[in-house]
Amino acid sequence: MNTNNGLALVTPRITPVLDPFFRPAVLATRAFREQVRTTSDPVAVRLALEQSDGSVFQFQTEIFSDSHPQAAGNFVYIERMLKFLLWSRGGFRIHFDGPRSLGEALKKHYREAATGKFDSEIVGNRIFDKPIEVVLTRDIPAARSNTTPLGRHLDGYRIGFDLGGSDRKVAAIVNGQAVYSEEVVWDPYYQTDPKYHYEGVMESLRSVAKHMPRVDAIGGSAAGVYVNNRVKVASLFRGIPPDVFEKEVKDMFLKIQKEWGNVPLEIVNDGEVTALAGSMSLRQNGVLGIALGTSTAGGYVTMEGNITSWLNEFAFMPVDYNPQAPTDEWSGDYGCGVQYFSQQAVGRLMPAAGIEAEADLPLPEKLKVVQSLAYKEDYRAHKVYQTIGTYLGYAIAHYSDFYDFKNVLALGRVTSGPGGETIVNGAKEVLKVEFPELAARIAFHIPSEKDKRHGQAVAAASLPKLKR
Range list of H helices, 113-183: 114-119, 128
Return all residues near 408 (Cβ < 8 A) that are at least 6 apart: 287, 288, 289, 290, 396, 427, 442, 443, 444, 445
DSSP 124: I
Report whether pLDDT(1) > 70: no
Return all residues near 156 (Cβ < 8 A) that are at least 6 apart: 174, 175, 216, 217, 466
Contact call for residues 121 and 131 (beta carbons, < 8 A): yes
Contact call for residues 363 and 343 (beta carbons, < 8 A): yes
Mean pLDDT of the chain: 93
Return all residues near 113 (Cβ < 8 A) that are at least 6 apart: none
pLDDT at 148: 64
Query: Residues 124-180: pLDDT tens digits?
Result: 998 998 999 999 999 999 998 766 666 889 999 999 999 988 889 999 999 988 899
Q: Give bridge partners of residue 300 from the DSSP assignment.
A: 288
pLDDT at 269: 86
pLDDT at 28: 98
Q: Give me the mean pLDDT over the 222-228 stretch.
A: 84
Q: Give me the mean pLDDT over the 226-245 stretch.
A: 89
Give CA–CA dist 133/106, Å, rounded: 10
Report whether pLDDT(345) > 90: yes
pLDDT at 293: 86
Give CA–CA dist 141/49, Å, rounded: 9
Q: In Å, how far from its chain's centre is CA 142?
A: 27
Query: Residues 4-46: pLDDT tens digits?
Result: 999 999 999 999 999 999 999 999 999 999 999 999 999 999 9
pLDDT at 449: 67
pLDDT at 276: 87
Nearest to 110 by CA among 138, 91, 97: 91
Return all residues near 262 (Cβ < 8 A) that are at least 6 apart: none
- Write out the H or E segment, with its range, that includes residue 184: strand 177-185
How many alpha carbons fall within 13 Å on the CB side of residue 351? 4
Rounded to the nearest 5 degrees, what angle is found at the Cα of 325, between the Cα atoms of 20 and 443?
70
Name the class of domain 273-456: alpha beta
pLDDT at 68: 95
How many alpha carbons fall within 13 Å on the CB side of residue 375? 7
DSSP 245: I
Give CA–CA dist 355/363, Å, rounded: 14
Sort strands 157-163 and 230-233 into parallel, antiparallel or unpaired: unpaired
Domains of the chain, residue spans: 39-136, 149-269, 273-456
pLDDT at 308: 77
Query: Residues 76-88: pLDDT tens digits?
Result: 999 999 999 999 9
Give CA–CA dist 231/141, Å, rounded: 29
Give CA–CA dist 395/392, Å, rounded: 5
Fold agreement between 149-269 and 273-456: yes
Contact call for residues 212 and 179 (beta carbons, < 8 A): yes
Name the class of domain 149-269: alpha beta
Burial 130-142 (b: 16+ CB within 10 A, else e): ebbebbbeeebee
Q: 196: helix, coil or strand?
A: helix
Q: Give me the mean pLDDT over the 369-387 stretch.
A: 97
Residue 372 or residue 307, greater confidence: 372
Distance, first Cα to last Cα, the chain: 61
